[in-house]
Amino acid sequence: MGNPFEIIEAKLSSIEIYLQKLKPVELPPLKEDERFLDTKQVAELYGVSSVSIWQWEKANILKSYRIGNLKRFKYSELLESPKLIQRRK
């Protein structure tokens, strides 16, 4: 066996060559209404607290999606929801 550093260098060189051959995948740009917002962003959009957003989700007024451990809201669906959600007084 040769010098371990030379072996590592040779393997890194072969990995670099392989990576250079890979073509990057170009994703189509997301439209503004196809993005997802977190609870805080939705609360800011509606001008209410995060607790209100949680309550509206629980009452099926807003629909959320699980992305891994994260809860997100689809922006296009938020735009379609009623513009004025009446708060109970």
Which amino acid, one-letter code, is at 67?
A: I
The per-residue pLDDT for 64 is 93
- Smallest CA-to-CA distance from 32 within 75, 79, 71 is with 75
* Structural contact between residues 85 and 47, judged by C-beta atoms closer than 8 angstroms: no
Tokens at 42, concatenated: 């939705």
Task: Record the pTM.
Answer: 0.57
- List the beta strands (DSSP E) in 9-82: 36-37, 65-67, 70-74
The per-residue pLDDT for 13 is 92
Residue range 17-61, pLDDT digits in tens:
888 888 777 767 767 667 899 999 999 988 889 999 999 999 888
The per-residue pLDDT for 38 is 93
